[in-house]
Amino acid sequence: MVGGGIGAFIGAVHRMAAALDGEIELVCGAFSSDPEKSKKSGAELGLPPERCYGTFQEMIKSEKRLRPDKRMHAVSIVTPNHLHFPPAKMALQNGFHVICDKPLAFNMKEALALEKLVEESGMIFALTHNYTGYPMVKQARQMIKHGALGTIRKVIVEYPQGWLSTDLEASGQKQAAWRTDPSRSGIAGAMGDIGTHAENLAEYITGLQITEICADISIFVPGRKLDDDGNVLLHFGNGAKGILHASQICAGEENNLNIRVYGENGGLEWRQMEPNTLLVKWLDKPVQVYRTGGVGDLYPEAQAHTRIPAGHPEGYLEAFANIYRNFAVCVRARLEGRDPDPLYTDFPTVKDGVRGMRFIEKVIASGKSKSKWVRM
Amino acid sequence: MVGGGIGAFIGAVHRMAAALDGEIELVCGAFSSDPEKSKKSGAELGLPPERCYGTFQEMIKSEKRLRPDKRMHAVSIVTPNHLHFPPAKMALQNGFHVICDKPLAFNMKEALALEKLVEESGMIFALTHNYTGYPMVKQARQMIKHGALGTIRKVIVEYPQGWLSTDLEASGQKQAAWRTDPSRSGIAGAMGDIGTHAENLAEYITGLQITEICADISIFVPGRKLDDDGNVLLHFGNGAKGILHASQICAGEENNLNIRVYGENGGLEWRQMEPNTLLVKWLDKPVQVYRTGGVGDLYPEAQAHTRIPAGHPEGYLEAFANIYRNFAVCVRARLEGRDPDPLYTDFPTVKDGVRGMRFIEKVIASGKSKSKWVRM
Amino acid sequence: MVGGGIGAFIGAVHRMAAALDGEIELVCGAFSSDPEKSKKSGAELGLPPERCYGTFQEMIKSEKRLRPDKRMHAVSIVTPNHLHFPPAKMALQNGFHVICDKPLAFNMKEALALEKLVEESGMIFALTHNYTGYPMVKQARQMIKHGALGTIRKVIVEYPQGWLSTDLEASGQKQAAWRTDPSRSGIAGAMGDIGTHAENLAEYITGLQITEICADISIFVPGRKLDDDGNVLLHFGNGAKGILHASQICAGEENNLNIRVYGENGGLEWRQMEPNTLLVKWLDKPVQVYRTGGVGDLYPEAQAHTRIPAGHPEGYLEAFANIYRNFAVCVRARLEGRDPDPLYTDFPTVKDGVRGMRFIEKVIASGKSKSKWVRM
Amino acid sequence: MVGGGIGAFIGAVHRMAAALDGEIELVCGAFSSDPEKSKKSGAELGLPPERCYGTFQEMIKSEKRLRPDKRMHAVSIVTPNHLHFPPAKMALQNGFHVICDKPLAFNMKEALALEKLVEESGMIFALTHNYTGYPMVKQARQMIKHGALGTIRKVIVEYPQGWLSTDLEASGQKQAAWRTDPSRSGIAGAMGDIGTHAENLAEYITGLQITEICADISIFVPGRKLDDDGNVLLHFGNGAKGILHASQICAGEENNLNIRVYGENGGLEWRQMEPNTLLVKWLDKPVQVYRTGGVGDLYPEAQAHTRIPAGHPEGYLEAFANIYRNFAVCVRARLEGRDPDPLYTDFPTVKDGVRGMRFIEKVIASGKSKSKWVRM
């Protein structure tokens, strides 16, 4: 693991997600840019001192020197955005598979370079757009793919949060500090941090691509340097229209990612904060409530990402763990020289990451543009 | 009453709303452009034959000839859009108060003419933007007005319906037929029929005015002549940003008008389909659930528009009746030469109607424009 | 109307419910046991002085003397429980139809006498167990009647309120005062006031009869003389088991009547505070959300009691108005010497009232009994 | 681990719960009463062959012979009810801490024997009444403990499931088979399997003890030998009244454990299927929505059992993991000879298990009794 030392949020999430299924073992790490802190973090996690490295360079070099059956099999990157590319590049070049937090990189240039590196190296690369790991998201995707709703006409994807309603970054809060700092976050704030999740979710569920956008990007908190709110009109490749809005100044909202999709015959509604329910609305019959692990026509893709019976709620960590589990299934199959079970090969890839970076680039450009539509 | 004959939807709504409080009596009508049908409708409603008129012109003329204590006091206009202006104009010019369905008129020119007529005549004019009649909408308005949320930053107002997902108008369904016909509905379809309700609700609750819009207007059903879907970015006078979307092709949606408003300190959420609940979200304390007639700090404006104790659900007709009741209170006060109770003077006026018509005009223009922002 | 003078709650509800459909006109009343107050109330309601009577006896006598086409057709009784029987008896004996608030009477003896009087007089008698007037309650009844759920196994009916959590009656609050006073309410408090609604709803929806009960009846507020809480085990005639609980000390609850019914194949759930939704749960397919006026297989009985399109919420007054409307349809048909439309003949009768009174008698007896089961 | 071989449900849950926080490592097991199956299960879990034991006796003996730093520290028992006591007894007697699935034992005699063994051995014993592991359950308990609701008056705890609506056991389904078999489950079916969870939850949240019960116990599915439904009236030690009902024949219900508690000042409502929300209802102010990890006055006990920020839903496995984590914290502190952090010492003990067994005994007795109340 690279990053995720004491006090980090997403590092602990990655570790719990990786541990849940007993498929992945944390064996070493470079948990902080401060070597002392890195080692201290590793010790707290129960790692042997010799595998708590001071830097990711040291980690990759040292691990590569170990016997294949003793070394790490993959690198998990859980650093801020500006530190995704260097360890990812080095890991891929040294023959390690990579699972990396989103967005893919600091900028488009890095993103394209990574895409090329993944292609050339042939290594497995997963990006933790974790919200696509939810069983009901997979059910929604399959229903649309199999034509249940007919041609898709309209998509509304929302991601309101409220935690940056004040200048929390001024208080030194670590999560707020790097996310609002252009030197660590890149050109976008909320649009990169959560807007890309919304973009990814919309394209994943509908199977469509956003082709044009028209964005209204704002900074509401005085003194902030990156966007904390954005409203975006969407055009999709098939003619569907849509709206994406994401915000970190919707005071009183927690982590309210949600999506509605409407086709000719009906619509779908999914809300991350009650993730085990998928509402399916029909033109000519009553709304149906699909449920994680529930009765009725659940696709194998939904069932394969459910661990416990219906009514035993699964949450964020389980969805996150689905990304890790599938990544592990694919890595293990590769190590064993066989094909993985196709039901467990579904995770966001470097290509999703490139699309996310393009979304960031274009949505910020559109926000500054006076003409209406910007092509993606 | 003008319009609202057999088979009409909104005419019956107006009659029930008017009847609920025992303040208003239906005394005469020209219920249809077909004199025979008008008379038959009146008879079914229990009116004496001599007051079932063949035309609104005949009604207004005949009633004016009656002794003041025998004649009607006000005209209720419940016709399609193209037939709002003629009876409204004649009624005002002949000294009758008017309550009229929305949108105000067929086009901007008529709207401005009506505004002038109302001003010159001094008559009372109410427009049935009925959704502002809900108690929790009034509570929301008062909370924002009194600063509970601080400066408003973001507004999301939605009005998805699904009933025009197919070309229902081809089947001869009366409601669908006139709403999709430019000669009766005007330049807009969904934007006029329900988009104006959304615009009115957003401005009513926030007390802000929309100053700029950027609209993506669509026709999804092949052969349809007027918009059945629209997504609109909003700028408000105080710097707040927002989104308005309204649609009649969101298959599976009923009448799902809803609004969320976020300020510096918290947010509000209200949904028309569960109208007795107002969620109030705070930056620093748990969400509160305000309820129609419920315990806690309800403003007098909310309490004055509630008829029964909390937990006894009030609905669409009661909210509609609040517009009629307040109109009646004002008409009665005028007849009795005194000021009405200020708690009961709140109803949409011709000025709201003019704003709605301007919204229609500008949103359609923006939909056709290649530049991003259109001023309202 | 008998009762319902200034300050009364349920009188105003009856008047709004009666007015909504334009089928019933309030023509006279004895609104209070205080003749002065009665006359003042009538004047406020816009009645002519000669039809604002000092007593119900005077009203019935005077009206009977009027020409048939001038006199009232029916009496609406909205007094506290101890004053249901005298005006009902006199009205029936003088040839007036009666619509009466629940519970039917002050005690079982009066109830049986009324049942006999209705039978002998042949007059129409409706009891306002208003909750059976909701469209989705009718849908639930029809679904069960037509076997959708298979044999019914379990019923849970709840009616928690919180408004009597303190000794509100000590403050002189009129509604609390008579409901907690044995001389006006009878032997039961909460069990009579709301427990009977729960009992009636359970029997109406399931079509089953409660045959045995086991009750735990409590008074929680010190000094109160009648029950404010009760928990009751139920046996139904077909072998189904159930629970009924009703309370007026569930602090923080509004008017939360709700019912769940489970059969071999599925279950139903309806909640009065969101009355336009009926959840239908299945053993082998996703939950369905039936909606008032909505798409899908709604029975004619549900559709006939809906006034406006789906998504335009109907509430308590509309359900109450359904009882009045059906009563009016039957009275009008009787006056015109024809059969009423069978879709509009459904309202609670004196027989439902007798069952309610028996429930009161038995539930209080069971509460005092040391043996487990009491037969109904 | 004892039990939890291939095909078991709760064994996998225990393993995921134990793994989540990286505090516990699965080192050995006797996963099945069939030694072959046990070894195969162990191999699939990645355990070395020498620690995949054929029987729990073998496991305990062999592990005891290992050096203290090499041997297992605790035994997790995840077998059907009739196989809780033997391994628990042997583990305690051989100096191993125990974490055991509920109910505690096959019968009261075993339960009391275990209680004594725990006391005498001084070993740590945890019982996985996992629902008390949810953060909002802990919040509810603390609010009541600190008097927020005043004296508790009424408790309603429900546990409806529908999965045994048919004779699933006849199909050979493993979960159904042992739960409906008196030789493996004990004297109770649903009352033992889920009724005890409801009893435990009610006593945990309120801090009160059930003192008297009156039960109506049923078998609905023909041929079944143990109860599949029960409705129970409750008396609590402080005078509060209540209802507990649990069922496995509520067709269409998933795992709908929920509880409502009412005191003099307000009420609480918590539903396991949306476990991150706690509704707090007040007599004199709007309902508040407390949320896992959310803003507002959360007690340290609630915060200590939350892993991720508000709006990132936590579920069943996380609550289950809280039991395991706290057990691990206590075992580790014991091993290190220090006191554990008091915030992490909260888990159900053998005493909760004894109360659960008494509940089973009494509720079945009450179901057969003709007198109303049975003392607990």
Instruction: Extract the runs of DSSP E, i.e. beta strands, from chain C.
Output: 74-77, 97-100, 125-127, 152-160, 210-218, 229-236, 241-247, 258-263, 266-271, 277-282, 287-291, 374-375
Radius of gyration of the CA atoms of chain C, in A = 21
User: What residues of A are in contact with residue C297 (Cβ under 8 Å)?
Assistant: 285
DSSP state letter for A66? S
Domain boundary among the residues D89, D123, D157 is at: D123
Domain boundary among the residues A92, A123, A154 is at: A123
Within a domain: A376: no
Within a domain: C268: yes
Within a domain: A317: no
Residues B80, B100, single domain; the answer is: yes
A204 interfacial to chain D (CB closer than 8 Å): no
| Model confidence pLDDT, tens digit, residues B284-330 | 999 999 999 999 989 999 999 999 999 999 999 999 999 999 999 99
Query: A291–C287: do the CB atoms touch at under 8 Å?
Result: yes
Integer Cα distance of D335 and D327 in angstroms: 12
Residues B67, B169, single domain; the answer is: no
Is the distance from CB of D259 to CB of D158 less than 8 angstroms?
yes
Centroid of chain to Cα B339: 25
Across the interface, which of D284, D286, D297 has its CB nearest the CB of B288? D286
| Model confidence pLDDT, tens digit, residues C185-208 | 999 999 999 999 999 999 999 999
A164 interfacial to chain B (CB closer than 8 Å): no
Tokens of B102: 């929305």
Within a domain: B318: no
User: What residues of B are in contact with residue A264 (Cβ under 8 Å)?
Assistant: 165, 251
User: What residues of C are in contact with residue A282 (Cβ under 8 Å)?
Assistant: 295-296
For helices A316-335 and D316-335, angle between their N-to-C axes, nearest 10 degrees:
80
Query: D165–C264: do the CB atoms touch at under 8 Å?
Result: yes
Does pLDDT of D7 surpass 80?
no
Residue D178: per-residue pLDDT: 94
* Cis peptide bond upstream of B48, omega within 30: no
Q: How high is the mean pLDDT of chain C?
A: 96
DSSP A33-45: SSHHHHHHHHHHT
Across the interface, which of B285, B289, B290 has its CB nearest the CB of D295? B285
Contacts of C243 (CB under 8 A, 6+ apart): C155, C156, C157, C231, C232, C233, C234, D231, D243, D245
Does pLDDT of C233 surpass 90?
yes
Query: C241–D218: do the CB atoms touch at under 8 Å?
Result: yes
Tokens of A296: 């009725």
Integer Cα distance of A213 and A360 in angstroms: 11
D174 interfacial to chain C (CB closer than 8 Å): no
Compute φ and ψ for C157, nearest 5 degrees. -125, 130
DSSP A145-172: HTTTT-SEEEEEEEEE--TTSS-GGGGT
Residues D90, D217, single domain; the answer is: no
Q: How high is the mean pLDDT of chain A?
A: 96
| Model confidence pLDDT, tens digit, residues C275-334 | 999 999 999 999 999 999 999 989 999 999 999 999 999 999 999 999 999 999 999 999
C253 interfacial to chain B (CB closer than 8 Å): yes
A294 interfacial to chain C (CB closer than 8 Å): yes
**Which residues are registered as beta bridge partners of D66?**
none
User: What residues of B are in contact with residue C294 (Cβ under 8 Å)?
Assistant: 254
Integer Cα distance of C255 and B310 in angstroms: 7
A251 interfacial to chain D (CB closer than 8 Å): no
Instruction: Extract the runs of DSSP E, i.e. beta strands, from chain B.
Output: 74-77, 97-100, 125-127, 152-160, 210-218, 229-236, 241-247, 258-263, 266-271, 277-282, 287-291, 374-375
Residues C16, C154, single domain; the answer is: no
Cα B350–B353–B356 angle (5° rounding)? Answer: 160
Residues D139, D59, single domain; the answer is: no
Distance from CA of A227 to the nearest CA of B (A): 13
A309 interfacial to chain D (CB closer than 8 Å): yes
| Model confidence pLDDT, tens digit, residues A34-78 | 999 999 999 999 999 999 999 999 999 999 999 998 999 999 999
Boundaries of domain holding D141: 134-308+354-368
Within a domain: D327: no
Cα D122–D123–D127 angle (5° rounding)? Answer: 125
- Which pTM does this prediction carry? 0.97
Residues A30, A54, single domain; the answer is: yes
Terminal CA-to-CA distance of chain C, rounded, Å? 33
Distance from CA of D84 to the nearest CA of C (A): 32
Query: B308–C318: do the CB atoms touch at under 8 Å?
Result: no
Q: Give the number of beta-carbon pairs within 8 Å between A and D.
A: 103
Is the distance from CB of D317 to CB of B307 less than 8 angstroms?
no
| Model confidence pLDDT, tens digit, residues A207-255 | 999 999 999 999 999 999 999 999 999 999 999 999 999 999 999 999 9
Query: C262–D249: do the CB atoms touch at under 8 Å?
Result: yes
Residues B140, B250, single domain; the answer is: yes
Residues A235, A111, single domain; the answer is: no
Distance from CA of C11 to the nearest CA of B (A): 11
Contacts of A54 (CB under 8 A, 6+ apart): A30, A35, A38, A39
Which CATH number fits the domain that encloses residue B96?
A: 3.40.50.720
Residue B248: per-residue pLDDT: 98
% pLDDT > 70, chain A: 100
Residues counted in chain C: 376
Within a domain: D288: yes
Write out the H or E segment, with its range, that includes residue B335. helix B316-335
Query: C296–A286: do the CB atoms touch at under 8 Å?
Result: yes
| Model confidence pLDDT, tens digit, residues A246-298 | 999 999 999 999 999 999 999 999 999 999 999 999 999 999 999 999 999 89
Chain A interface disruption, residue of D312, D318, D324, most A CBs within 10 A: D312
Write out the H or E segment, with its range, that includes residue A280. strand A277-282
Look at chain B and report how many structural domains it folds into.
Answer: 2
The candidate with the shortest Cα–Cα distance to B81, out of B99, B105, B100, is: B105
Query: C162–D267: do the CB atoms touch at under 8 Å?
Result: yes
Tokens of B15: 């009659």
Across the interface, which of D273, D276, D308 has its CB nearest the CB of A13? D308
Is the distance from CB of B210 to CB of B361 less than 8 angstroms?
no
Give the three-class secondary structure for C281: strand
Residue C135 CB coordination number (10 Å): 28
Query: D282–B291: do the CB atoms touch at under 8 Å?
Result: no
Across the interface, which of B45, B255, B311 has its CB nearest the CB of C22? B45
Centroid of chain to Cα C32: 21
**Integer CA distances (angstroms), C281 to C136, D160, D254, in order:** 15, 13, 10
The chains found to touch B (3+ Cβ pairs under 8 angstroms) are A, C, D
| Model confidence pLDDT, tens digit, residues D97-114 | 999 999 999 999 999 999
Which CATH number fits the domain that encloses residue D359?
A: 3.30.360.10
Residue C47: per-residue pLDDT: 94
What is the band of D9 on the pLDDT scale with cuts at 50, 70, 90? Answer: confident
User: What residues of D are in contact with residue A253 (Cβ under 8 Å)?
Assistant: 311
Tokens of A36: 């002392």
Distance from CA of A293 to the nearest CA of C (A): 11
| Model confidence pLDDT, tens digit, residues A102-115 | 999 999 999 999 99
The chains found to touch A (3+ Cβ pairs under 8 angstroms) are B, C, D
Q: How high is the mean pLDDT of chain B?
A: 96
% pLDDT > 70, chain B: 100
A283 interfacial to chain C (CB closer than 8 Å): yes
Domain boundary among the residues C123, C142, C169 is at: C123
Within a domain: C197: yes
Of residues A62 and C5, more confidently modeled? A62
B273 interfacial to chain C (CB closer than 8 Å): yes
D296 interfacial to chain B (CB closer than 8 Å): yes
Least confident of A6-20, B102-116, B357-371: A6-20
Residues A103, A231, single domain; the answer is: no
| Model confidence pLDDT, tens digit, residues C72-85 | 999 999 999 999 99
Residues C138, C72, single domain; the answer is: no
* Cis peptide bond upstream of D49, omega within 30: no
Q: Which of A316-325, B172-181, C20-29, D8-17 has the highest mean pLDDT?
A: A316-325
Integer Cα distance of C178 and A311 in angstroms: 45
DSSP state letter for D295? S
A282 interfacial to chain B (CB closer than 8 Å): yes
What is the band of A6 on the pLDDT scale with cuts at 50, 70, 90? Answer: confident
Query: B251–A264: do the CB atoms touch at under 8 Å?
Result: yes
Does pLDDT of A121 surpass 80?
yes
- Return the biggest CA–CA distance within chain D: 65
Question: Positive or negative CA dihedral for D295, D297, D301, D302?
Answer: negative
Q: How many CA atoms lie within 13 A of D4 on its CB side?
A: 26
Residue C7: per-residue pLDDT: 76
Residues A113, A59, single domain; the answer is: yes
User: What residues of D are in contact with residue B283 (Cβ under 8 Å)?
Assistant: 295
**Integer CA distances (angstroms), C121 to C154, C272, D152, in order:** 39, 35, 51
Compute φ and ψ for A99, nearest 5 degrees. -125, 125
User: What residues of B are in contact with residue A161 (Cβ under 8 Å)?
Assistant: none
Instruction: Extract the runs of DSSP E, i.e. beta strands, from chain D.
Output: 74-77, 97-100, 125-127, 152-160, 210-218, 229-236, 241-247, 258-263, 266-271, 277-282, 287-291, 374-375
DSSP state letter for D192? I
Residues D52, D190, single domain; the answer is: no
Residue A253: per-residue pLDDT: 98
Q: How many CA atoms lie within 13 A of D230 on its CB side?
A: 33
Residues counted in chain A: 376
Within a domain: C200: yes
Q: How high is the mean pLDDT of chain D?
A: 96
| Model confidence pLDDT, tens digit, residues D190-234 | 999 999 999 999 999 999 999 999 999 999 999 999 999 999 999
